[in-house]
Amino acid sequence: MKSRTLDAVNNQIQAEFQSAYIYLAMSARFEDMKMSGAANWMRIQWQEETAHAMKLYDHLIRRGESPVLQTIDKPEVSFESALDAFERVLEHERHVTHLIHSLYEVAVEEKDYALQTLLHWFIDEQVEEEENAEAIIDSLRLAGESGQGLFLVDRELGQRAPEEEEDE
């Protein structure tokens, strides 16, 4: 693997672990707010982001490269409402989409076809991530300040279960 591509993948591994860390911190904050459903949703998000990091990590291993793990920053999550939190999720996922697209551009420029194929999965995943966050924001906007509305959205978020491992 070319060093430019390798560095770019290592950076993306960091970004995925960083995402995982942010969502775990959000999960803890939702536990504080007694919104156990949203806490559950964020905890599953943490698992998924960790799985994304590991997908890239394993790709490097399979190609005979050594992943180089980087520093993960302390997550800053001080939201006051669920709507605020999920608006941050959407903003963060848009940022990650941008990172994935930049990584794909590197894979194209460096003619790394195997990495391009792997990244197709990530490109689709980001569409889903943004779509999910937008749908939750819509529900939270409808719920507004109503305790009953928030209760129902929280209950729905509590039903999110970990995804089945897909075949590769």
> What tokens were used for 40?
């559950």
- Mark residues 32-71: x for contact with Fe ion by CB under 5 A, - for none: -----------------x--x-------------------
The piece of 10-18, 22-30, 136-144, 146-154 that touches Fe ion (CB under 5 A) is 10-18
Give dist(CA 127, CA 32) in Å, integer: 30
Give phi and psi for 67, each to the nearest 5.
Answer: -60, 140
Nearer to Fe ion, 118 or 150 (CB): 118
Residues 137 and 27 sit within 8 Å (Cβ to Cβ): no
Nearer to Fe ion, 52 or 59 (CB): 52
DSSP codes of every residue in 93-116 = HHHHHHHHHHHHHHHHHTT-HHHH
* 129 binding Fe ion? (CB under 5 A): yes
The piece of 26-34, 78-86, 107-115, 126-134 that touches Fe ion (CB under 5 A) is 126-134
In a 13 Å sphere around the CA of 107, the CA atoms on its Cβ side amount to 17
Query: What minimum distance in Å lies between the beta carbon of 96 and Fe ion?
Result: 5
Query: Which among 22, 38, 24, 27 has a CA at the least distance from the CA of 143?
Result: 38
Nearer to Fe ion, 13 or 106 (CB): 13
Query: What minimum distance in Å lies between the beta carbon of 49 and Fe ion?
Result: 5
Nearer to Fe ion, 102 or 146 (CB): 102
Nearer to Fe ion, 16 or 154 (CB): 16
Give dist(CA 70, CA 101) in Å, integer: 21
Query: What minimum distance in Å lies between the beta carbon of 144 and Fe ion?
Result: 27
Site for Fe ion in 82-121 (CB under 5 A): none
In a 13 Å sphere around the CA of 48, the CA atoms on its Cβ side amount to 19
- Positions that interact with Fe ion (CB under 5 A): 16, 49, 52, 129
